[in-house]
Amino acid sequence: MPSQSHNLARNYTYNVLSRDTFGCSMKAIYSEVGDEKIEILKDPATDDGTKKSAKGLLRGEKVGNDYVLHNQQTLEQVNSGEYRTVFRNN
């Protein structure tokens, strides 16, 4: 029978999940805690400017054959854009 520490090490190895496990990741851009609205921004200190994310609620707008991204939108603006709810966690 394997030792307890061996079992823990083996279980840890097989149970670690990361964004690389499934080849995708999710990002939060906005949250509400009670009545407080919180815009979330990714702006890494070591970034060269290419990893900074959009901030707050986003609206996608179709212009011709392209889409334009607008950030820091109100809920009304978001609802007038191209995004559609596909999942809601109630």
The tokens for 77 are 């603006």
Give long-range contacts, CB 8 A cutoff, 24+ apart: 69-75. 71/29, 72/39
Contact 57, 75 (CB under 8 A): yes
Domain ranges of the chain: 26-79
**pTM more than 0.85:** no
Task: Give start and end residues of each alpha helix (H) in 1-90.
Answer: 4-15, 75-79
pLDDT tens for the 90 residues of the chain, in order: 554 544 445 555 556 677 677 776 677 888 889 999 998 887 777 778 777 788 889 999 999 999 999 999 998 999 999 988 888 887
